[in-house]
Amino acid sequence: MDGMKRALAPLAALLLVTSCAGEGEAEPTPTVTETVAATPEPAPTVTETVTATPEPEESETAEASSDDAGLTSEVQEISGDAGEWVMEVVEQSPGQFEILTMLIDPRGEDGSRDAQDAVAICEAVQEELAATHIRVMESDETTFAMIDQATGECAEV
């Protein structure tokens, strides 16, 4: 901005001198001409910040898998003999577990050993991990046992 003022200063002086020339005596007034090179000020710099969400690194996904593996091991252990059937455990949210097993339900009248094991796994997770929602699944991922919401106890379904 200062450069523009300097460039316009001679023009303003010239106008002042010429406007005053008509008043009073008619003496010739000297004219001063000065050439000033005006350099415009640089435009303001615009900075844009872009934030990207990085993809999870392999170590993060491996950590999540190891957490699931640790939970699976814990459920196998707390389920006693029935723990041998546990393949994978996922805690979907605090207190909500899905447990995939190798159990196959033959649906006998007196309840099969597999059904008793499914209920035992459910009860162990309910007691040891303070679970409120449990789904013990057969190997084909159909539900075998779960907490009955009416009674709050594990039961074959």
Q: Is 70 exposed, middle or buried (0-12, 13-18, 19+ CB in 10 A)?
A: exposed
Query: How many distinct structural domains can be found in the chain?
Result: 1
Residue in 146, 135, 137, 148 with CA at minimum distance from that of residue 104: 137
SS3 of residue 145 by DSSP: strand
Residue-wise pLDDT tens digits, 84-136: 999 999 999 999 999 999 988 666 666 688 888 999 999 999 999 999 999 99
Tell me which residue range forms the domain holding 108: 58-156
Domain assignment of residue 14, yes or no: no
Q: Which helix (H) or strand (E) covers residue 73, if one does?
A: helix 58-78
* pLDDT value at residue 45: 58
* pLDDT value at residue 59: 45
Domain assignment of residue 28, yes or no: no
More confident residue, 37 or 154: 154
Mean model confidence pLDDT for the chain: 73
pLDDT more than 90, % of the chain = 38
Residue-wise pLDDT tens digits, 59-79: 444 444 556 789 999 999 999
Q: Strands 133-137 and 96-101, how do they pair?
A: parallel
Domain assignment of residue 23, yes or no: no
* pLDDT value at residue 108: 62
Domain assignment of residue 15, yes or no: no
* pLDDT value at residue 28: 59
* pLDDT value at residue 61: 42
Q: Count Cα neighbours of 38 within 13 Å in the Cβ-side half-sphere.
A: 13
* pLDDT value at residue 149: 87
Phi, psi at residue 59, to the nearest 5°? -65, -35
Q: Strands 154-156 and 96-101, how do they pair?
A: unpaired
User: What's the predicted TM-score (pTM) here?
Assistant: 0.52
Rg of the chain over CA atoms, in angstroms?
43
- List Cβ neighbours of 90 (8 Å cut-off, separation of 6 or more): 68, 71, 97, 98
Domain assignment of residue 95, yes or no: yes
* pLDDT value at residue 15: 38
Q: With 80 as the cut, is the pLDDT of residue 48 above it?
A: no
